[in-house]
Structure 1
Amino acid sequence: MSIGLNPYLVFDGNTREAVHFYEKALGGKVIGIMTFGDAPADPNHPLPDDMKDRVMHAHLKVGDSELMFSDTFAGMPYQPGNTIQIAIHPREEARAREIFAALEDGGEVVMPLMKTDWSPLYGIVKDKYGVTFQVNVPGEQPQQ
């Protein structure tokens, strides 16, 4: 079984600034930054103009470690200090479903498991202890 874990830091509109701060402070390398405006448009859920420049996902490589980042979606609650999530990357969808179900027991589904533009199966769940996990089956990586 192959699975990876990494911290996922959430900010409220200043992710790009934070990524570059950590890149310099930790001697890392930015692998990519994607804004909400970079994602394919969904006519059923139009993106407000103030969301287009917010970071949907950023990836920073620091040595052998990975840090990932995102801004909140406008209107979502944000509490400084409660902004670190754990991203889990099981390779198999069946394993992702098992992990998600186990974490959901006594917890709360924030975003149900579903296919996304970047993953065949992705979801967010807060466990019974209040820890938020992103379960993400890695999809094909775009060529840089």
Structure 2
Amino acid sequence: MVSISLNPYLFFDGNAREAVHFYEKVLGGKVMGIMTYGDMPADPNHPLTDNMKNRIMHAHLKVGDADLMFSDTFAGMHYQPGNSIQIAIHPKEEARAREIFAALEDGGQVVIPLHKTDFSPLYGMVKDKFGVNFNVSVPVE
């Protein structure tokens, strides 16, 4: 029984939609879903600009048995071409997600603390002591 999965997570600066469709064509993949920041429930404390609403929050491309995930950076997040790949980790259990996150955080830096979201019971982003960025997300059952 597999209790964890990993996949590359590619970040872009406003052109993630173009990238998803480019890789779909080039790799013969299938887009499984695209969600924009505007698709999320509005937060009156943090209103989104029209440009931000249209940016890709999460896209999933299936290529054979592999999963590629895509996102545009959120306003204010640093983007540097070539440094735009993260590793997405999907432990099935929240306790395991907390263990992994804590281990990666040791000597590293929390980018987004673990918290409940509309798309995951537990999600967070952490940069480890080697400078590698990880998204930890427990899948919705």
Secondary structure of the residue aligned to 2:44 is: coil
Name the structure 1 match of 2:72.
71
Alpha-carbon distance between aligned partners in 2 of 1:33 and 1:114, rounded to the nearest angstrom? 22
Structure 1 residue ranges (4+ consecutive) displaced by more than 2 angstroms after TM superposition: none
TM-score, normalised with respect to structure 2: 0.97
Question: Where do 5+ consecutive residues of structure 2 fail to align?
Answer: none
Alpha-carbon distance between aligned partners in 1 of 2:18 and 2:45, rounded to the nearest angstrom? 31
Name the structure 2 match of 1:24.
25
RMSD, aligned α-carbons: 0.8
Which letter does structure 2 place at the counterpart of 1:105? D
Asked if 1:61 is matched to 2:67, the reply is no
Alpha-carbon distance between aligned partners in 2 of 1:93 and 1:135, rounded to the nearest angstrom? 10
Alpha-carbon distance between aligned partners in 1 of 2:17 and 2:24, rounded to the nearest angstrom? 11
Secondary structure of the residue aligned to 2:54 is: coil
Name the structure 1 match of 2:88.
87
Alpha-carbon distance between aligned partners in 2 of 1:65 and 1:47, rounded to the nearest angstrom? 32
The structural deviation recorded for 1:75 is 2.3
Name the structure 1 match of 2:15.
14
Alpha-carbon distance between aligned partners in 2 of 1:103 and 1:85, rounded to the nearest angstrom? 13
Which letter does structure 2 place at the counterpart of 1:117? D
TM-score, normalised with respect to structure 1: 0.95
Q: What's the CA shift string for 1:6-48, capped at 9, x where partnerless? A: 0000000000000000000100000000000111111121112
Alpha-carbon distance between aligned partners in 2 of 1:52 and 1:43, rounded to the nearest angstrom? 14
Name the structure 2 match of 1:139.
140
Which letter does structure 2 place at the counterpart of 1:20? H
Tell me the number of residue pairs that the alignment of Structure 1 and Structure 2 aligns: 140
The structural deviation recorded for 1:110 is 0.2
Name the structure 2 match of 1:2.
3
Alpha-carbon distance between aligned partners in 1 of 2:132 and 2:119, rounded to the nearest angstrom? 23
Q: What's the CA shift string for 1:46-103, capped at 9, x where partnerless? A: 1122201000000000000000000001222110000000000000000000000000
The structural deviation recorded for 1:139 is 1.2
Secondary structure of the residue aligned to 1:58 is: strand
Name the structure 1 match of 2:42.
41
Alpha-carbon distance between aligned partners in 2 of 1:99 and 1:76, rounded to the nearest angstrom? 23
